[in-house]
Structure 1
Amino acid sequence: MSGLLQNIFKGDPNAPSAAPSSGDDADPASASTPGAAGTPQSATRGALPAAADHARPYTAWYRVWERHSRQDFVQEAFVIPFIACLLLLHVWGMGKNRRKAKKWAQAHLPILQSEFAVVGYGGVGARRAPSADNVQAEGLPAAAASADLVVPESVLKEKTGTEFATYATGRQNVAFLDVSIKLFRWYNPLYMLGDSVISMFLDSWPVPVERVQCTAYAFDGKERDLVPAPSAVEKELIEQRTKGANNSSYDGFVFAVVHKNCMRRLREDRYDISLTFTKDNPKLPEWATVMSESAEITELMLTADLIKAIEEAGEDFEYLIITDQPLDKPTKIDETTPGKRINLSLCLPKSNSYSSTLPIFTYFLRLTDRVVSTAHFRAEVVRKLRNTRDEEVRKLRRAHDEEKNEERKALVEKTKKEERDRLLRGMSAEEQRKYLEKERERETRRGMKKSVKRG
């Protein structure tokens, strides 16, 4: 643009200049010698053909191939394939995670639909799974491997590219079930590599693992508050089912069977596990241990079926926790309200065959029934459990009272300071001096009394 304006206002630099004026009005100093005048002209004439050789020929706007060459697109030749590879890798990674989550749902949908009335976020699935009797007759592996099993889109919800979730409800003693499937970032291998490398050097950085985490929330005798009853007849029916022997409440406690590789992380991350003590059990494999609040609870909950299911799951088993305490340490008294639930965490098998983990998953779904029927302990055990929880409540109440006292003291000090400032503003300079001297004397006497008491 600057060159264009220069050409408009100053003319063409290659155009011949006007001949110098001759005569009396000519300036002798401005006249150049004949030899000097010829030198720039010859140089200009010699430069014109070279400039013309390098100039691009004028072509029509659509004749791009005549104005550009392959050398002009060297940068794009590297950038475009790189972006294409990233897009293909992202599509492949997302598809791999979706297929893996769908494979898990296909393997576990029969047992879920046989235990719960509603599975997923859209009601009953496209194909109803066989009844509980048929599942027991055919076996879970055969039912899960059936080719005609259709997994509805509403069964799984894709929260992120690495996390899928499902939901189930409509079962006695279980309010609802949450399942979370966490997978690798196959669509971002650099992130996966960074996670793996950092976890090798930092103990605080968890090792990336593909796992499924399930949480079953117990009714604990609150069916009337949690189950919607459209009519009075259904409401009365719910009340009758929750009375007497059908009552779903049980004593709150914390019990866990944990893989030893997860023991330290659970004790540091979960408040409820910190209330337990760890003790190896000879009935369990060497890589598993028990974390419980009482030996009587361990003897009652550690059944032969549970031990067999854990042995079949093998290294894919991480933990099974029965708890009534929050995950994070409560900071307020309201947060100590018990929420009874059962947690199960399993690593996804690398072979994509769930025959080894299906027994422990099935036991987990039916564990609430056993807890409701047997978790009614002796008075001594209940007293011990209650004392542990009451002690935590007392600590919170003590901390709350101390915080209130500090706030009260700060308010009193603030009121005294405002009153002192108000008095000083209404005094003359001499009165202020006397008032401050008396104040210093009182502080001195108070300090002397404290030192005498200490001595």
Structure 2
Amino acid sequence: MADLLKNLLGGAKSTASSVASADDFADFATAASPVPPSHAASSAFPDAASTSRPSFGAGMGLAGRPYTKWYRVWERVAIDDFYQEMVIVPILLVIILVNIWGASANKRRAKQWAKTHLPLLQSEYASVGMGGRKSKSQSGQDIPDDFYKEQSKNEYISYATGRQNVAWLDIKLSLYKRYNPVVWFGETAASFLFDSMPAPVERLEATAYSFDGKEKAVVPMKSQGASALGTKDSTYDGFVFAIVHKDKMKQLRVDRYDISLTSTKDHPKLPHWATIMSEASEVTEAMLTPELVKAVTDAGEDLEALIISDQPIDAPKKLNDTVPKKRVYLAMRVNDTPANARLFSVFLRLPDHLVTSAHFRPEAMRKIRATREEEQKKLRKIDEEEKAEERRLASDKLKKEERDRKLSKMTADEQRKFLEKEKEKQQRKGMKKQTMRG
């Protein structure tokens, strides 16, 4: 009876399992004690090897492994393994040094240009530079830090304001990409292979925006002398006139909408490499002053274009784009010669000549106005067609909504009859169109 109770309560089973578990660990009773791994000792530190204690897991899977030279980096690495790095690292250093040298060379080039032209700007404008402060007469050796701003490593911009007849002046200096000789060489090579790719040059671009009688809208009334500006007449007739290098003539006519309105004609007063692009002969005679002709002749082929315009550069797409915006634009190669400085000085004073002399007879302006009115008619027609298309689409949308509303209130039979009538009506319209075409 006692054995039966033990079997029911599991006493005998637990005893058997305990015995079995004891037998399971019998194999480990005769196992050898752990010993330190053989690689723990080093020939360089024999004493340390005898006193070192194995850390937890240090001998797991490493016992019996000999200490070889692969544990010493200086023994398993040769100079042959670094041939690739020996080529890449010098190339990277050369690229970095050339980049730094090119950026520094362009900065020196921009500073040299500023030394020549800063006195000219300060003599004509009250505020020169990006700082917005009044300019002070300085020697050519001292260039203010805010005179120009670095747009990129080969582009610098400047700004001037505070002059009669001119709202503001924008200046952009584009230099060679000395910091990237690969791109520089690629652009030069492409210019020889393709006519559409111009050769890289160092270019000065300056644009003077005229007041044209809008001083009160541009100059704050609180500023000093604003009341006096409103009493002066700075308006002049709008037209397009340009003195262009013949190599740039074709490209300018394609790139600029205002130049496309002009006709090209050589002038005996100008050198052989320059030509006139003007809207009227009377405008040409009024603009070709002896001072301007001499400055253009002395500057030589460094001049690319001198443009007086009131029309947009890009072709207008809306009537608002045809609003006249009078300005004077100069593009020339960067060259710190006295002749180029004189041409730049004549450009700075050209707005004064426009205000005093650019007032022409109605007969001379009739053709110029006719060209602008013709362009405005085209834009007005396009605008009316767009508005008519919008009205048609809106009407079609209302008709479709009304049709859907009617269909939603019909039964299935009524909808079927309605759609059949609609289909027959469309077929009759199609047949009428075919008859009219025949």
User: SS of the counterpart of 1:152?
Assistant: coil
Call closer, same or farther: CA 1:434–1:57 in 2, change over 3 Å. Answer: closer
**Residues of 1 paired with 2:225 and 2:94: CA distance?**
59
Q: How much does 1:446 deviate? A: 2.6
Residue 275 (str. 1) matches residue 261 (str. 2): yes
Q: How much does 1:205 deviate? A: 2.4
User: SS of the counterpart of 2:317?
Assistant: coil
User: SS of the counterpart of 1:343?
Assistant: strand
Report the more deviating stretch, 177-186 or 411-420.
411-420
Residue 418 (str. 1) matches residue 401 (str. 2): yes
Opposite residue 88 of structure 2, the aligned amino acid is V
Q: Is the 8 A contact 1:114 1:129 kept in 2?
A: no
Q: Is the 8 A contact 2:69 2:75 kept in 1?
A: no
1:117 maps to what in 2?
Answer: 126
- C-alpha root-mean-square deviation of aligned residues, in Å? 2.4
Residue 169 (str. 1) matches residue 136 (str. 2): no
Residue 386 (str. 1) matches residue 363 (str. 2): no
Q: How much does 1:86 deviate? A: 0.8
2:69 maps to what in 1?
Answer: 56
Call closer, same or farther: CA 1:90–1:295 in 2, change over 3 Å. Answer: same
User: SS of the counterpart of 1:166?
Assistant: strand
2:209 maps to what in 1?
Answer: 217
**Residues of 2 paired with 1:253 and 1:291: CA distance?**
11
Length-normalised TM-score, structure 2: 0.80
User: SS of the counterpart of 2:339?
Assistant: coil
Find 2:344's aligned residue among 345, 361, 376.
361
**Residues of 1 paired with 2:326 and 2:227: CA distance?**
25
Identity of aligned residues (%): 50
Call closer, same or farther: CA 1:124–1:417 in 2, change over 3 Å. Answer: closer
Q: How much does 1:52 deviate? A: 7.1
**Structure 2 stretches lacking a partner, 5+ long:** 1-64
Find 1:263's aligned residue among 229, 234, 249.
249
Call closer, same or farther: CA 1:202–1:415 in 2, change over 3 Å. Answer: farther
**Residues of 1 paired with 2:226 and 2:294: CA distance?**
40
Q: Is the 8 A contact 1:216 1:343 kept in 2?
A: yes
Q: Is the 8 A contact 1:179 1:214 kept in 2?
A: yes
1:331 maps to what in 2?
Answer: 317
Find 1:397's aligned residue among 380, 384, 390.
380
Call closer, same or farther: CA 1:454–1:210 in 2, change over 3 Å. Answer: same
Aligned length: 375
Opposite residue 197 of structure 1, the aligned amino acid is A
User: SS of the counterpart of 1:344?
Assistant: strand
**Residues of 2 paired with 1:57 and 1:382: CA distance?**
92
Length-normalised TM-score, structure 1: 0.77
Find 1:179's aligned residue among 151, 171, 181.
171
Opposite residue 293 of structure 1, the aligned amino acid is E
**Residues of 1 paired with 2:408 and 2:298: CA distance?**
83
1:39 maps to what in 2?
Answer: none
Call closer, same or farther: CA 1:229–1:414 in 2, change over 3 Å. Answer: closer
Q: How much does 1:437 deviate? A: 2.5
Find 2:228's aligned residue among 237, 243, 266.
237
User: Where in structure 2 are the equivalents of 1:133-152 lying within 5 Å?
Assistant: 149-152=141-144
Q: How much does 1:320 deviate? A: 0.2
Residue 433 (str. 1) matches residue 424 (str. 2): no
Q: How much does 1:58 deviate? A: 4.0
Q: How much does 1:234 deviate? A: 4.2
Residue 90 (str. 1) matches residue 90 (str. 2): no
**Residues of 2 paired with 1:425 and 1:217: CA distance?**
63
User: SS of the counterpart of 1:358?
Assistant: helix
Structure ID, larger Rg: 2
2:198 maps to what in 1?
Answer: 206
**Residues of 2 paired with 1:110 and 1:345: CA distance?**
20
**Residues of 2 paired with 1:451 and 1:164: CA distance?**
65
1:141 maps to what in 2?
Answer: none
Q: Is the 8 A contact 2:187 2:199 kept in 1?
A: yes
2:80 maps to what in 1?
Answer: 71
